[in-house]
Amino acid sequence: MPRSPRTPLAVLGLAAVLTLAAALAVAVTAAGRSPARSSARGPEPASITVGVVPSTDTAPLLISIERGYFKRQGLTVTTKIVADVSTAAAPSRQSGRVDIVAGGYVSYFEAAARGAKITVVAAASQCAGNTLNVLVAPKSKITTPAGLAGKTIAVNLTGNMPTLTINALLSDQGVNPAGITYVQIPFASMPAALAAGQVDAISEAEPYITETEGEGATSVLAQCQGSTVDMPLTGYFASRAWVRAHPEAALAFQRAIGEAQAAADKDPGLVRQLIPAFTGISADVADRISLPYYPPGLDAAQLERVVALMRSAGLVGGSFNVMPLLLRPGR
C-alpha cells in the first residue's frame, strides 16, 4: 500500500516554527508595512491565507470553507499547502503572505519561550483514541508498555509530543523511561526502519498507524490515554503583529473554525469524506483511521497540561504562562 507523503501537524519542529516566524516578518514588510508599524490597526482583510500540512488535524478548515462558515464571517480563506516540515516557511516566502499557520503546540510554545511573538488564534486537535501509538514488529518480544524500557524508539521529533507522552505514560505505569533511546525518523520512514530492525519500536501517527498495523505491526502503547487523553496537539497561530493589526479578522477566523470543529466532532463522516483528497490517503484507510478530538475553542486549562509536560522535560521555565498567548474577544 502506498504511503502518504504528508507530515502530521503535531510534529512541526522548533526550527521550522522559528523560520516561519521570520518569514511572517518578511511577509509584513513585503506588504508595504515596516516591522515598527506592523502592530498598527489597518484595514480588516476580507481574504486571508492559512498555511497547513494536509492532515486529519486540519480537516475542519476545509469544512469551514466548503460549508461557508468563513463566508458568513466575512472572510475568504485560501489554504497554502506545506508538503514537508523542512520547507514549512517556503510558501510564505514565495508569495509574501501567510497570515495564519497550523502547527503543534509544543514547538510554538517553545518558540514563544525563546522570544517569538506569536498568538494562538484557535484550537485544531487533541489527542484521542489511537491517533498516536507505539508499535512493534510482528515478531517482537515486546508485548506490553513495560517491555519498552531500555529500548530504542523512533519518533518524528525528539523533545516533542511523542517523547513527552511516552515518558509520561510509562512513568504513570511505574516504568522508568530514562533508559529509552529516542531516534528521530520521519513518520513515513518508520515502518521500514522497524522492519529492518533499526529500532525496537516506532511512535506513529495516523494514517500510518492503520497502514502499519495492516502489515502486521502491533500497537503496545496508546499515547492518548490516562494522563494524556485529550492532550492538546495542534492549533492555529499568527504573528502577534498581524493579530494586533487585524483583530476582527483574527476573531472572525476563530469563530468560523470553532463552528467547523464542532461540526467535525459531531459528524466524523464529514472528515472522512474530505481527507482522502486532502491528504492523499485512500478512502478505505480514511474509513478506518482514528480521528483526533476537535475542540470548538481554546481551553487555557487544557493548554496548561501541555505546558506542564514541557516543564517536566525542561523545554520551558517555571514562569512560562500560556494565557498571554491566547486570542480572546475583548482582549
pLDDT by 10s per residue, the chain, length 331: 344 445 565 555 544 554 455 544 443 333 333 333 344 565 677 899 999 888 889 999 999 999 999 999 999 999 987 654 333 333 333 344 689 999 899 999 999 999 999 999 999 999 999 999 999 999 999 999 999 999 999 998 888 999 999 999 999 999 999 999 999 999 889 999 999 999 999 999 998 899 899 999 999 999 999 999 999 999 999 999 999 999 999 999 999 999 999 999 999 999 999 989 888 889 999 999 999 999 999 999 999 999 999 999 999 999 999 999 999 987 6
Q: What angle do CA 2, 8, 12 make, to 5 degrees?
A: 135
The CA distance from 232 to 295, in Å, is 9
Q: Residues 40, 158: one domain?
A: no
Specify if 2 maps to a domain: no
- For residue 176, the enclosing domain spans 132-228
Boundary (domain end) residue, out of 189, 204, 228: 228
C-alpha cell of residue 248:
476582527
Specify if 294 maps to a domain: yes
Q: How many CB atoms are closer than 10 A to CB 63?
A: 24
What CATH number is associated with residue 184?
3.40.190.10
Specify if 67 maps to a domain: yes
- Backbone torsions φ then ψ of 7, nearest 5 degrees: -110, 120
Q: Residues 41, 111: one domain?
A: yes
Specify if 289 maps to a domain: yes
Number of domains in the chain: 2
Boundary (domain end) residue, out of 228, 259, 283: 228
